[in-house]
Amino acid sequence: MAGLLTNSERALKRREVSERNLAAMGRIEQLIAQHPLSGHAAQHWQQAQKTGFPAFHQEDWHYTSLTPLLEADYQDKTGTLNVLPEAVLTSLNAYRIVLVDGVFAPQWSDTDTGVFELSVADRHNEFPAPVNGEIFLHLTESLAQTPLMIRVKAGAQAEKSLYIVNISTAHNDSLNMRHSRYHLDIGVNAAVSVIEHFISPDEQSAHFTGARMTANVGENSDFRHLKLGFENPQAYHFAHNDLVIAAHARVESTSFLLGGKLTRHHTSTQLNGEGIVLAMNSLVLPKHGEIADTRTYLEHNKGYCESRQRHKTIVMDNSRAVFNGMIKVAPHALKTDGQMTNNNLLLGRKAEIDTKPQLEIYADDVKCSHGATVGRIDEEQLFYLRTRGIAEKAAKQMIILAFAAELTDAISDEVLNNVVMARIRQSLDQGDKQ
């Protein structure tokens, strides 16, 4: 059949990919050699070498090409800041922690962090084992230079959010590869919120950000997490967050991934006690050929838990979004109530979405559902707004913002809401100008 590879062509392709992947791993190994590894980091580096970069035929990577990333030259420089970038939300009522190229910057961070007890982790201390490991998770665990431990004592009630700012500085001679790592240990009956913010002040500088946040959420605690991915159009962003949740906790994690040449974000979660209520949401908006890849992995390991997932994508021009979600219900996890939806809006003729929500249920007496929708702007809605005197561009933007409103309206903080809405409008305006 025309267009299909022959066996010899397929073998050649696999050999080329294997050689490229090995060469990329070798260049990263040169960076590893510059820094002594703790036992924990060394174990992850061994696992990274064993896992290797994915082959072209692997399903999890079929729609997300790594070729430009793996063919790049790498460096791992830490920049300096003379002034905080304007993108840092200095008006936000929060305790601020700043990482510059993945390295903790105490000079730009608050000394008073309230109930959040912060320390730079001893490289020999072990972080939790991954819920669902993969190659970029292991790279971040290996390469992070100043991993942070953040502890919240039992019963603590945070007056303000913890605001973690990840700033990537400009290094134009090669692809700067930096990794940030922090772990939250949240005690029983505590109530806290954490904001992750990833920014690139230089709009033209290519860089590779690896990020990993893990959280152990204690019994009957309340944890709110918000991630803002606002990096530049040349950035590669690979993140993997783990949430391990104890009984009767209430957790909400929402990500707005609104920038980056290639973004791949995982959230892996374990519900390890009864009575847990979890909400997990995301919004991505790729434009100008960008790729936004969102993945969730959720284990219902105990009964009487509720999970709700809402994942939305707005795909412009010739860009691509990928969604892959998995809910696993363990045996004896009775009365599980899990729902996962993925809604997609295509705004260009060449825009593409590849979606795969999945369920694996090994228990009786559960209520689980998953679904996906894909569509374009409703012409009847557009016609209705046009007949009311609204210009076509403004009418389209109104429809798009209404599509995103289920997630954006849930941001109660005015500063955060304003910055997310401004970023969405900016992306829509840039997409219209192409």
**Total number of domains in the chain:** 2
pLDDT at residue 431, rounded to an integer: 67
pLDDT at residue 96, rounded to an integer: 98
The first and second tokens of residue 73, run together, are 């030259």
Please determine, for residue 9, whether its predicted confidence score (pLDDT) is greater than 70: no
Asked if residue 173 and residue 25 are part of one domain, the reply reads yes
Query: Order of strands, edge to edge, in the sheet holding 222-230?
Result: 103-104, 94-100, 161-167, 191-199, 222-230, 250-257, 277-284, 306-315, 337-346, 367-375
Task: Please give the residue range of the domain that contains residue 336.
Answer: 19-54+76-377
* Residue 12 belongs to a domain: no
* Mean of pLDDT over the chain: 93
Residues 261-273: pLDDT tens digits? 999 999 999 999 9
The first and second tokens of residue 182, run together, are 């922090």
pLDDT at residue 125, rounded to an integer: 65
* Residue 411 belongs to a domain: yes
* Residue 336 belongs to a domain: yes
Asked if residue 409 and residue 314 are part of one domain, the reply reads no
* Residue 49 belongs to a domain: yes
Instruction: Give mean pLDDT, residues 355-374.
Output: 96
The first and second tokens of residue 105, run together, are 């910057």
Asked if residue 411 and residue 355 are part of one domain, the reply reads no
Residue 14 binned pLDDT confidence (cut-offs 50, 70, 90): confident
pLDDT at residue 80, rounded to an integer: 85
Percent of the chain at pLDDT > 90 equals 80
Asked if residue 428 and residue 368 are part of one domain, the reply reads no
Residues 393-432: pLDDT tens digits? 999 999 999 999 999 999 999 999 999 999 999 999 886 6
pLDDT at residue 402, rounded to an integer: 95
pLDDT at residue 432, rounded to an integer: 65
* Residue 426 belongs to a domain: yes
The secondary structure of the chain in percent helix, strand, coil, rounded to multiples of 5, reads 25, 40, 40
Asked if residue 145 and residue 28 are part of one domain, the reply reads yes
Contact between 174 and 73 under an 8 Å Cβ cutoff? The reply is yes
DSSP 191-229: EEEEEEEEE-SSTT--EEEEEEEEEEEPTT-EEEEEEEE
Question: Which of 329, 357, 377 is the last residue before a domain boundary?
Answer: 377
Please determine, for residue 162, whether its predicted confidence score (pLDDT) is greater than 80: yes
Asked if residue 182 and residue 82 are part of one domain, the reply reads yes
Measure the CA–CA gap between 158 and 322, rounded to whole angstroms.
35
* Residue 42 belongs to a domain: yes
| Residues ≥6 apart with Cβ < 8 Å to 403 | 312, 314, 343, 345
Asked if residue 402 and residue 296 are part of one domain, the reply reads no
Whether the CA torsion 388, 393, 398, 399 is positive or negative: it is positive
Residues 99-114: pLDDT tens digits? 999 999 999 999 999 9
Instruction: Give mean pLDDT, residues 138-142.
Output: 95
- Tell me which of 171 and 167 has the higher pLDDT: 167
Please determine, for residue 17, whether its predicted confidence score (pLDDT) is greater than 90: no
pLDDT at residue 2, rounded to an integer: 52
Asked if residue 372 and residue 293 are part of one domain, the reply reads yes
Residue 139 binned pLDDT confidence (cut-offs 50, 70, 90): very high
Instruction: Give mean pLDDT, residues 20-42.
Output: 89
- The reported pTM is 0.95
Contact between 223 and 248 under an 8 Å Cβ cutoff? The reply is no
Lowest-confidence range among 69-83, 114-128, 192-206? 114-128
- DSSP letter at 174 equals S
Please determine, for residue 68, whether its predicted confidence score (pLDDT) is greater than 50: yes
* Residue 275 belongs to a domain: yes
pLDDT at residue 170, rounded to an integer: 75
Residues 213-257: pLDDT tens digits? 999 999 999 999 999 999 999 999 999 999 999 999 999 999 999
Asked if residue 181 and residue 98 are part of one domain, the reply reads yes
Q: Which residue has the tokens 């999945």?
A: 358
Asked if residue 399 and residue 358 are part of one domain, the reply reads no
* Residue 424 belongs to a domain: yes
Asked if residue 366 and residue 415 are part of one domain, the reply reads no
Question: Which of 332, 352, 377 is the last residue before a domain boundary?
Answer: 377
Question: Which of 352, 377, 402 is the last residue before a domain boundary?
Answer: 377
Residue 1 binned pLDDT confidence (cut-offs 50, 70, 90): very low
Residue 3 binned pLDDT confidence (cut-offs 50, 70, 90): low
Instruction: Give mean pLDDT, residues 1-16.
Output: 68
Asked if residue 394 and residue 281 are part of one domain, the reply reads no
Residues 293-310: pLDDT tens digits? 999 999 999 999 999 999
Please determine, for residue 124, whether its predicted confidence score (pLDDT) is greater than 60: no
pLDDT at residue 260, rounded to an integer: 94
Please determine, for residue 278, whether its predicted confidence score (pLDDT) is greater than 80: yes
pLDDT at residue 22, rounded to an integer: 93
Torsion of CA 423, 110, 192, 301, to 10 degrees: 80
Residues 41-57: pLDDT tens digits? 999 999 999 999 997 66
Q: Which residue has the tokens 């692997």?
A: 58
Measure the CA–CA gap between 417 and 401, rounded to whole angstroms.
13
